[in-house]
Structure 1
């Protein structure tokens, strides 16, 4: 199946498929993906915040993410995305969140 033919492609020509810089929409999409993983406790197993009774993980300990992130990706900021960052920094942070995101085991995380 061929790619769809959009009006703008017929009038303006096809959009280049290779970019030297990451498009803004792609950059903000990757930022949102990493932020969602952190905020939705996908990193809770690697950076656990323990329940008060000590018998389960209730979420992500955000304070324990910062030292590892800044050690491995020195150009990153915490909280994330507060300052300008390069595409390379975005890819490094994204890779780090992938590495530390085991599949969610809902039995180990107490949902509130």
Structure 2
């Protein structure tokens, strides 16, 4: 289980426990966190679960694979360092304390 903080674009914070084995996107979906739409259901076929990972977490996450990189090209205002698709971040104990911020909108 990992405690993850989801921050809406307006600054509203949601701190939730996400079970190990789920994705960060599934944690948002299961806890009704606004701002992560996840239109493709986690298939890495859209960019509607895009977030900005807190700077101190960027180097702690697994690297982006080529498919995630391609999908991030379609995200709203992607950041080369901090942007990630939450469907591609599998929750492990090592993600305890992760902080992600949603963009202004998902496209």
Q: TM-score range by the shorter chain?
A: under 0.3
Bigger relative contact order (CA 8 A; separation at least 6): 2
Q: Which structure has greater strand proportion?
A: 2
Q: Which structure has greater helix proportion?
A: 1
Instruction: Using structure 2 for the length normalisation, give the TM-score.
Output: 0.25
Instruction: Using structure 1 for the length normalisation, give the TM-score.
Output: 0.24
